[in-house]
């Protein structure tokens, strides 16, 4: 392929060891500037597909997919493209690995990262148990963090409503954040209604097998409604809140969760006692040691 400068000096397109392709002049004159370049007839029927001069000069021949630039920042497009991917609406992205990994962080913290997902009806005691569990872990010298459903909607998810599609996105975002905490070696406690199995299962699928621990607060609706600490059931019964879980929107209990915390008859274990059940599970599975 041949380009010519404005003085008609031929510029030969030639393979370069570093770039795979390059540009050189066949005369003794220095390499022309972008504004001095013009296109001439190309040998062999080859055509130039694109020419960009915004600080970077790119020439791409139809006979190959290699690209080159005059500022020296060029490479094999096929090779680079093989490292890039598209995820959702994000394109041309690449996962960057670091030498420091999850095992290193877990050794530093002397524990194993995981997600404890506490699910149940409003008023079942999820947040109270989550706080009791966080306190119990703290007293054992273990680092945890609580992602409470209401708290997260004050910031990260403040743009989401309680429509079905927004509830699904709410769970997805919390699941992604919880995964990051677990990867950091932290015991993440997610406490939220999360009424639909498919959304909870999707969060489980984000983590390695065994690192998602689903805790079901198995408390009857009438008990939760009798508590009604936030007054939400009263508003839902009056029709002032639509799509309220347990009233006019379903709650799908887990089918194969790791832990069930039950309310039996008139007797209910204290939040600390429930937290100890979860602690026992973590100890048995080795999460409280590196």
Does residue 21 lie in a domain region? no
Mean pLDDT of 28-56: 43
Total domains in the chain come to 1
Does residue 119 lie in a domain region? yes
Which residue range is the domain that position 168 belongs to? 102-285
- Tell me the pLDDT tens digit for each residue of 246-285: 999 999 999 999 999 998 766 778 999 999 999 999 999 9
**In terms of pLDDT, which residue wins out, 61 or 163?**
163
Does residue 53 lie in a domain region? no
Domain of residue 264, CATH code = 3.40.50.300
Does residue 50 lie in a domain region? no
- Tell me the pLDDT tens digit for each residue of 174-191: 999 999 999 999 999 999
Does residue 153 lie in a domain region? yes
Q: Which of 194, 229, 270, 280 is catalytic?
A: 194
Does residue 269 lie in a domain region? yes
**Residue 194 catalytic?**
yes
Does residue 126 lie in a domain region? yes
Contact criterion met (CB below 8 Å) for 218 and 262? yes
Does residue 97 lie in a domain region? no
- Compute the mean pLDDT over every residue in the chain, rounded to the nearest whole number: 81
**Range from 19-23, 81-85, 163-167 that averages highest in pLDDT:** 163-167
Residue 26 phi, psi dihedral angles, 5° rounding: -90, -5
């Amino acid at each position: 392929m041949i380009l010519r400068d404005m003085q008609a000096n031929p510029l030969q397109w030639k393979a370069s060891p570093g770039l795979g392709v390059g540009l050189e002049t066949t005369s003794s004159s220095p390499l022309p500037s972008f504004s001095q370049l013009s296109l001439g007839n190309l040998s062999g029927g080859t055509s130039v597909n694109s020419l960009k001069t915004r600080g970077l000069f790119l020439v791409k021949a139809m006979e190959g997919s290699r690209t080159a630039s005059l500022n020296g920042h060029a490479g094999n497009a096929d090779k680079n493209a093989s490292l890039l991917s598209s995820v959702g609406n994000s394109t041309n992205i690449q996962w960057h690995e670091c030498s420091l990994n999850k095992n290193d962080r877990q050794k530093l913290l002397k524990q194993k990262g995981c997600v404890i997902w506490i699910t149940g009806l409003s008023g079942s005691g999820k947040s109270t148990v989550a706080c009791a569990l966080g306190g119990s872990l703290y007293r054992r010298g273990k680092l945890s963090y609580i992602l409470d459903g209401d708290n997260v909607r004050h910031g990260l998810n403040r743009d989401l409503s309680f429509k079905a599609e927004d509830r699904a996105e709410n769970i997805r975002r919390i699941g992604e954040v919880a995964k990051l905490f677990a990867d950091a070696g932290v015991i993440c406690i997610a406490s939220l209604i999360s009424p639909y199995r498919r959304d909870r299962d999707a969060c489980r699928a984000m983590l390695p097998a065994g690192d998602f621990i689903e805790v079901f607060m198995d408390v009857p609706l009438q008990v939760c409604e009798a508590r009604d600490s936030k007054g939400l059931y009263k508003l839902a019964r009056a029709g002032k809140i639509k799509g309220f879980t347990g009233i006019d929107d379903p709650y799908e209990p887990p089918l194969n969760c790791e832990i069930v915390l039950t309310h039996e008859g008139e007797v209910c274990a204290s939040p600390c006692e429930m937290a100890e059940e979860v602690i026992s599970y973590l100890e048995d599975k080795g999460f409280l040691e590196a």
